[in-house]
Amino acid sequence: MASTCAQLCLRGTGPLYSKTVSSTWQYYTRVQQRIKVTRVPTKVLSGLSIRGNHTTATTLTRLRWKQQICFYSDSAAKYLTNEAKEGTNTQELSRTKVGAHKTSLLPTRDAALTTENSHISLDLDPVAQPSALEEISDEEAISISVPSAIPPASTTLRDYVDKSETLSKLVQLGVNLWKLEKRPNVGSMLLRLNFNTDVTPRLLFLKDIGVEDSRFGYIISHNPFILTESLENLQARVNYLKSKNFSSETVASMVSRAPYLLNFSVNRLDNRLGFYQQQLSLSANNTRNIVARLPRLLCGSLEPVKENLKVCEIELGFKRNEIQHIVLAVPKLLTANKRKLTEIFDFIHNTMKVPHHLITKFPQVLNSKYLRLRERHLFLEYLGKAQYDPTLPSYISLDRLVSLPDETFCTELALATLEDFYLFQKTL
């Protein structure tokens, strides 16, 4: 029998046969150990238990051994036949498949004896997966949760408008998302906001202080961070402005035109008001007047303001009282571009020969467009009517020179036709 088993091993080429022969040899060894026992209870093929001597046990053991060898020989022959037909030489099999073959090759009659000495891994049936074509009930269809289709990343807020309630309602308010998406971290901040809990209370606050609904879009487009300010801080800043004798209507107008106004603390607002009052030697009423007309003076940097004040005093040669009068008439000059300011002053003072006191009397000329001022002056000079001294006849006011539309300027000041003015512009 041993030689037969050895020949069977040599015929096997895959790891399946190595496993099978190894299991058979182990079983043979255990049987040899049992033969040494003189009297052992033994199962007969019919299922009856008998007691016999050493010879009987040996006979039964040999019978079982023959059954095993025949069974394994038949299985090996079948495997070789199938392998020859398919024309494949499989060298490696997964452990799962080997275990499956190993279990199927064990004789059923000795299953009880085998399980006593070894643990056999059993393959479990795979969990049944629902088919995509399987019909489901309406209740099951309703209970299915569909994940949100919001893109994980994008360079524009346009991809999120249809998926985000906050963004869609901000668009309805007139917010320019294309402006906000250019600013770092603003887009992600807006996506994290909840419209009912974050946006709505701030909008109601703005409405309560008198801001018109039509201004909501403008305010949020320029200052989206107002949506993250606490209502307590916003109310405290409004209360401070009212304590400085700003009326409710003035506060609402200031907030509408300077969206960042309510983002600054009470201390900063107080310091800004004190700065303008001291630098310009203004009264409290005049200070409120300037700030109410140009509320962004409280929001912007103070460096351009300081620089323009020095330019007006040192480079342009205005006195402090003249600067005060100019600022009260045109507060915008405090934040004007320094190059533009000096260019216009140079043309008015050195080309048009207008003295300082006349410029102070009509400071709006410093806020005019340089090209318009130049074209009109040269046209009047061409006609011989460029006379800006109020003490002389045919006087032309600087205020009217820069403020009148072209047609009125031609008929009332130049006493010429609009076509003549357009023809003259082509010669420049």
d(CA 90, CA 143): 48
Q: pLDDT tens digits for 15-73?
A: 444 444 455 555 555 545 554 444 444 433 333 343 444 444 455 556 555 555 555 45
Give me the pLDDT at residue 26, please: 57
In this structure, are residues 319 and 308 in contact, taking their beta carbons and an 8 Å threshold? no
In this structure, are residues 30 and 117 in contact, taking their beta carbons and an 8 Å threshold? yes
CA max distance for the chain: 155
d(CA 310, CA 326): 14
Mapping DSSP to helix (H, G, I), strand (E, B) and coil, where does residue 49 land?
Answer: strand
Count the neighbouring beta carbons within 10 Å of the beta carbon of residue 229: 15
Q: pLDDT tens digits for 249-279?
A: 999 999 999 999 999 999 999 999 999 999 9
d(CA 394, CA 413): 9
Count the neighbouring beta carbons within 10 Å of the beta carbon of residue 161: 16
Containing 193, the helix (H) or strand (E) segment is none
Beta bridge partners of residue 42, listed in sequence order? 50
Query: Helical H runs in 46-180?
Result: 54-86, 95-105, 111-117, 138-143, 165-173, 177-180
Beta bridge partners of residue 49, listed in sequence order? 43
Count the neighbouring beta carbons within 10 Å of the beta carbon of residue 210: 16
- Please state, in angstroms and as integers, the Cα–Cα distance from residue 24 to each residue in 10, 73, 211, 226, following that order: 14, 12, 94, 83
DSSP secondary structure of 203-256:
HHHHHHTT--GGGHHHHHHH-GGGGGS-HHHHHHHHHHHHHTT--HHHHHHHHH
In this structure, are residues 418 and 365 in contact, taking their beta carbons and an 8 Å threshold? no
For the chain, residues with pLDDT lower than 50 are: 1-3, 5-6, 8-21, 31, 35-57, 72, 76, 84, 87-124
In this structure, are residues 290 and 331 in contact, taking their beta carbons and an 8 Å threshold? yes
Alpha carbon 97 to its chain's center:
50
pTM of this structure: 0.60
Q: Looking at beta carbons, which pairs linking 185-190 to residues 24 or more positions away fall under 8 Å?
A: 186/224, 187/157, 189/224, 189/228, 190/157, 190/164, 190/166, 190/224, 190/227
Q: Looking at beta carbons, which pairs linking 376-383 to residues 24 or more positions away fall under 8 Å?
A: 376/401, 376/402, 376/409, 376/414, 377/347, 377/351, 377/352, 377/401, 378/424, 378/428, 379/414, 379/416, 379/421, 379/424, 379/425, 380/413, 380/414, 382/424, 383/414, 383/415, 383/416
Q: Looking at beta carbons, which pairs linking 202-205 to residues 24 or more positions away fall under 8 Å?
A: 202/226, 202/227, 202/229, 202/231, 202/234, 203/173, 205/231, 205/234, 205/235
